[in-house]
């Protein structure tokens, strides 16, 4: 039963990871009423799973790698809820909850043997994984193009004599909002896509999946994605700096696609 409780906790952590995004980044505070109770329920199931796991192993200190990951995830989840209880802030959950979810994937779905049949995994979840990531990439491209248009419009306003076709560009505020909203749409798509893909691959490949260069670059891109939204919302990042930051994330995205050609693990297109 410990495995079942941990699998249930991982699923709930995934839901909380998605729910915390609008609460923190999109000015939708009501989403905290989904994120916090879901995280609390996940923590309870997680605790029961760890307790049963250690009792079955006849020791109270985690020894095996799966036990260490499960206990570490439990502590991080407890830290997130403690921070929220004291400071009423969910900000740390944007990064911490996905980490907790990822820490629980291997102990829950690949504890030493394949718990899920690969044909079942590929039936629909792999399609959703790909669609969500493609939507995130599309949103990133839109954000980068909007930053370029913002820069062009800004230069046009400083030099009215160079109007021409540039006079038909939307106002600066509109262009900036397009880029920001594209990022806000792309982040939950990327988060969901990475979590689904990690769950599927962990159950099939095990720990080797998380040493794949494409996977590491994907998580790096997700972190930069979160950082770009945070910077734009707090510092009002626009103009040339926004172009450079968006271009950097775009380069990371190209690196992820390029890594697919050298990856020995994560090449779904080449699998039967």
Same domain, yes or no: 216 and 106 = no
Confidence of residue 269 (pLDDT cuts 50, 70, 90): very low
Same domain, yes or no: 147 and 44 = no
Same domain, yes or no: 133 and 234 = yes
Q: What percent of the chain has pLDDT over 70?
A: 69
Same domain, yes or no: 85 and 139 = no
Torsion sign, CA atoms 264, 267, 268, 269: negative
Evaluate if residue 208 carries a pLDDT over 60: yes
pLDDT at residue number 38: 96
Which of 115, 138, 165 is the endpoint of a domain?
Answer: 115
Q: Answer for the pair 24, 93: CB distance below 8 angstroms, yes or no.
A: yes
Same domain, yes or no: 35 and 164 = no
| Residue 230 main-chain phi, psi, to 5 deg | -60, -40
Confidence of residue 170 (pLDDT cuts 50, 70, 90): low
Evaluate if residue 42 carries a pLDDT over 90: yes
Please tell me the distance from the alpha carbon of residue 246 to that of residue 266, in angstroms, as a whole number. 26
Highest-confidence segment of 22-26, 79-83, 175-179, 201-205 = 79-83
Same domain, yes or no: 62 and 18 = yes
Assigned token pair, 133: 């990531």
Which of 115, 140, 158 is the endpoint of a domain?
Answer: 115
Evaluate if residue 17 carries a pLDDT over 90: yes
What average pLDDT does this structure show over 23-31? 84
Least confident interval from 88-92, 165-169, 170-174, 208-212: 165-169
Q: Answer for the pair 40, 16: CB distance below 8 angstroms, yes or no.
A: no
Same domain, yes or no: 209 and 230 = yes
Between residues 207 and 95, which one has the greater pLDDT? 95
Same domain, yes or no: 8 and 138 = no
Domain that holds residue 260: 118-272
Label each residue of 212-241 as H, E or C.
CHHHHHHHHHHHHHHHHHHHHHHHCCCHHH
Which of 115, 145, 168 is the endpoint of a domain?
Answer: 115
Quote the number of domains for the chain: 2
Least confident interval from 92-101, 134-143, 162-171, 241-250: 162-171
Same domain, yes or no: 85 and 33 = yes
Evaluate if residue 178 carries a pLDDT over 80: no
């Amino acid at each position: 039963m410990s495995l079942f409780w941990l699998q249930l906790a991982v699923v709930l952590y995934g839901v909380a990871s998605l729910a915390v995004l609008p609460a923190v980044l999109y000015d939708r505070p009501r989403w905290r009423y989904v994120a916090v109770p879901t995280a609390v329920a996940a923590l309870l199931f997680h605790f029961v799973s760890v307790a049963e796991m250690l009792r079955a192993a006849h020791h109270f200190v985690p020894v095996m790698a799966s036990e260490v990951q499960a206990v570490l995830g439990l502590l991080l989840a407890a830290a997130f809820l403690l921070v929220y209880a004291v400071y009423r802030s969910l900000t740390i959950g944007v990064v911490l909850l996905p980490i907790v979810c990822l820490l629980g994937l291997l102990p829950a779905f690949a504890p030493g043997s394949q718990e899920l049949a690969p044909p079942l995994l590929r039936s629909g979840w792999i399609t959703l994984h790909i669609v969500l990531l493609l939507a995130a990439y599309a949103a990133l491209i839109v954000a980068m193009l909007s930053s370029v248009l913002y820069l062009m419009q800004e230069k046009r306003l400083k030099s009215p004599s160079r109007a021409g076709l540039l006079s038909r560009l939307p106002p600066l505020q509109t262009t900036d909002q397009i880029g920001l909203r594209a990022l806000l749409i792309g982040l939950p798509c990327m988060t969901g896509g990475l979590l689904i893909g990690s769950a599927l691959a962990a159950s099939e490949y095990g720990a080797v999946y998380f040493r794949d260069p494409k996977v590491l670059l994907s998580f790096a891109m997700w972190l930069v994605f979160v950082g770009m939204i945070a910077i734009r919302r707090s510092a009002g990042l626009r103009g040339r700096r926004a172009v450079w930051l968006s271009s950097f994330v775009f380069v990371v995205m190209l690196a992820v696609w390029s890594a697919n050609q050298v990856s020995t693990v994560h090449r779904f297109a080449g699998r039967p």
